[in-house]
Amino acid sequence: MGDDPYRRPEGVSDETVEALGSLSKALETTECARGHLFAFHQLTGSADFELDRALELLRAAGHPEWAERVRTELLGRNVIPGHWTFQIVEAYDRTYYQAFRDLERAAVDQLAGGRGHLYEAELKEVRRTRDHPDHASRPDSPGARPPDGPFT
């Protein structure tokens, strides 16, 4: 077996590899959801800061009453009761994301000896073309084509 981190440990069944692959895929989907949550956070913050410009422009255009409405009704407003977006991100991380990451890591550690992405590694072995330099098993495999650019 050696020290190959992508080789399945002895005694780990196909069903276990598939189940851990599914758990990993679910975590990856959660990572994407978390990224969207950060995008929501940043976009909402950017919109809030753009309101400063809208206030100035409304005042300059002779609409101080509208500038005041924007200032009092929108500027700095909670996105849900009692929460700005950073608090939503923090609550998501504490309540769901961290628990998900911890559980996935514990399952991989206990059921696969800490070797993650076994499903994908085995899929790669099935799908790659043997002896083709762009289909090498590992970056240091004999005959692997070295990357161009900053990764060399």
- Return d(Cα 102, Cα 90) in angstroms, integer: 16
Q: Which of 64-68, 106-110, 122-126 has the lowest mean pLDDT?
A: 122-126
Helices 14-60 + 98-112 axis angle, to 10: 160
Tens digits of per-residue pLDDT, 34-46?
999 999 999 999 9
Band of pLDDT at residue 1, cut at 50, 70 and 90:
very low
pLDDT (mean) for 128-141 = 82
The answer, yes or no, to whether residue 152 has pLDDT greater than 70, is no
In tens, the pLDDT along 69-116 reads 999 999 999 999 999 999 999 999 999 999 999 999 999 999 999 999
Rg value, the chain, Cα: 25
Q: What is the mean pLDDT of residues 60-73?
A: 98
Q: In this predicted model, which residue has the larger pLDDT, 51 or 130?
A: 51
**Under a CB-based contact definition with an 8 Å cutoff, are residues 19 and 27 in contact?**
no
pLDDT tier, 150 (very low <50, low <70, confident <90, very high otherwise):
low
What does the block give as tokens for 76? 């700095």
Greater model confidence, 138 or 1: 138
Q: Looking at residue 5, what is its pLDDT?
A: 84
